[in-house]
Each structure stands twice: as structure tokens, then as C-alpha cells.
């Protein structure tokens, strides 16, 4: 029986709808592609920061925490296994996706699902230090 880390992470903390979406997004990519994703994470954060100027509902601090954790994980991508890169890819895609389950821009809890996914990946990669306090 094969052990799928993505499935294990998803089942550990994510509700079923988030679990299914996360698993759809988990695709291993080479470390250099993950490094390139840092710009996408930063761009998504900038969109949230700009949106917060007109929408007080956006949780900018949580967005910064998620983006910071993802940036730190991306920086270590050269050290990850195929399965670990797959998990990181899923977390990145979940954060930058426009169609995730909670609209990041429409409600105060819009980034909560992104935070759960990122925290779960941080735990699996033994980087709980990146998810402390949020």
C-alpha cells in the first residue's frame, strides 16, 4: 500500500471540500519552477494589499503570514523530495488560485482556508516555525 503524503496532509486537518481542491492542485514540479512561483505568491499578496485599501474585510496580516511561509518553503525547495515539492506546489496554487473555496476578497474569513492548507504543509515539512502565531 502506497502512502500518499498529499492525502495524509489533506486528511489531517482539511474539511472535505478543501481537501479535494488541495489534492487537485498538488502536482510536483522541479525546484526551479517552484522558485519561479515566488513571484506569483508575491503578486497575489500585492493584489490583496491593494484590495485592502478599498475593502476593510481583507485580512492583510494573514495574507502576509501565508505569503511569508510559502516564500520560506520555496527558498528550501532544492532540498525537498518529489512528494514534498508536490505538497508545496499544492499550497502555492491554493493560495494564488482565484477560484478556491472561500473568496479571498469577499469576506473576512476568505483567507482562512488558504491558511489551513499552508499550515498543514508547514507541519508536514517540519517547518511549524513558519506558521506560529497565525
Q: Where are the domains of the chain?
A: 28-126
In Å, what is the CA distance from 15 to each residue of 11, 19, 21, 125? 8, 6, 10, 20
More confident residue, 4 or 125: 125
Using a cut of 0.95, tell me whether the model's pTM lies above it. no
pLDDT, residue 8, reads 85
Residues contacting residue 131 through CB under 8 Å, at least 6 positions apart: 65, 69, 118, 119, 122, 123
pLDDT, residue 71, reads 98
Residue 2 has pLDDT above 50, yes or no: no
Average pLDDT of the residues in 103-127:
86
pLDDT, residue 73, reads 98
Instruction: Please write the tens of the pLDDT for every residue from 29-75.
Output: 999 999 999 999 999 999 999 988 888 888 999 999 999 999 999 99
pLDDT, residue 103, reads 66
Instruction: Please write the tens of the pLDDT for every residue from 83-105.
Output: 999 999 999 999 998 755 456 66
Three cell numbers written together for 26? 498538488
Amino acid at each position: 500500500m502506497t502512502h500518499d503524503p498529499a492525502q495524509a496532509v489533506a486528511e489531517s486537518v482539511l474539511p472535505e471540500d478543501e481537501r479535494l481542491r488541495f489534492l487537485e492542485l498538488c502536482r510536483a514540479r522541479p525546484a526551479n519552477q517552484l522558485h519561479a512561483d515566488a513571484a506569483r505568491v508575491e503578486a497575489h499578496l500585492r493584489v490583496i494589499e491593494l484590495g485592502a485599501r478599498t475593502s476593510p474585510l481583507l485580512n492583510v496580516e494573514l495574507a502576509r503570514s501565508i505569503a511569508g511561509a510559502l516564500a520560506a518553503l520555496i527558498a528550501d525547495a532544492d532540498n525537498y523530495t518529489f512528494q514534498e515539492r508536490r505538497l508545496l506546489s499544492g499550497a502555492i496554487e491554493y493560495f494564488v488560485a482565484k477560484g478556491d473555496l472561500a473568496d479571498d476578497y469577499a469576506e473576512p474569513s476568505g483567507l482562512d482556508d488558504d491558511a489551513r492548507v499552508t499550515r498543514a504543509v508547514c507541519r508536514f515539512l517540519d517547518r511549524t516555525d513558519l506558521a506560529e502565531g497565525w
